[in-house]
Amino acid sequence: MFQKIEIRLSGSGGQGLILGGIILADAAIDDGLNAIQSQSYGPEARGGASKAEIIISKEDIYYPKVMKCDLLLCLTQKSYDKYIDSLNKSGILIIDECVEIDKNASYKTYKLPIIDTAVNEVGTPMVANIVSLGVIHEVCKMLNEEVLKNSIVKRVPRGTADLNIKAFEKGKSLVKG
């Protein structure tokens, strides 16, 4: 089990990664941990660069920015190229299948069809963020699953809870195989 984990979710605007970061931080707090979340996105908003950073810790958090990620999620090639150097050498890299990585990388890597799953199995690209949360949960098991699901339901638009829980479950199943 971890003492502290630094997470960066990256992709392009419109993929919902900032909401994903908010959900993770919410769930961590509801699970009795300390958490902080920050975000940034390019001026283009939809389609521009986007990132959310989350620090989850059993202890006090003294600095609110991610220094070296323990987990890096990249849904676009541009985000991978921009943030890969911020990943700890022993960190976990989760990428969409469209992202090409350095073949000599020593990271624990999960290359999965996150966006394709959102589009073709759940029915909308708008839930790629929640598919990603399912993947992250299955890889790390850092939060209580029911608490995380409750945070999803609390934060997604009214009337979309079932769709988003389906997306979360699909993300988990990508890791399970």
Please give the mean pLDDT across all residues of the chain.
Answer: 93
Q: What is the pLDDT of residue 1?
A: 57
Q: Which helix (H) or strand (E) holds 74?
A: strand 69-74
From residue 106, alpha-carbon distances to 8, 90, 91, 95 in Å are 18, 7, 9, 14
Q: What is the pLDDT of residue 106?
A: 83
Pairing of strands 49-57, 4-12: antiparallel
Say if residues 53 and 27 touch (Cβ distance below 8 Å).
Answer: no
Give Cβ neighbours of residue 120 (< 8 Å, ≥ 6 apart).
none
pLDDT, one tens digit per residue, over 62-99 is 999 999 999 999 999 999 999 999 999 999 999 999 99
Confidence of residue 177 (pLDDT cuts 50, 70, 90): confident
Report the predicted TM-score, pTM, of the whole model to 2 decimal places: 0.94
pLDDT, one tens digit per residue, over 40-60 is 876 555 566 789 999 999 999
Q: What is the pLDDT of residue 45?
A: 53
Domains of the chain, earliest start first: 4-176 (3.40.920.10)
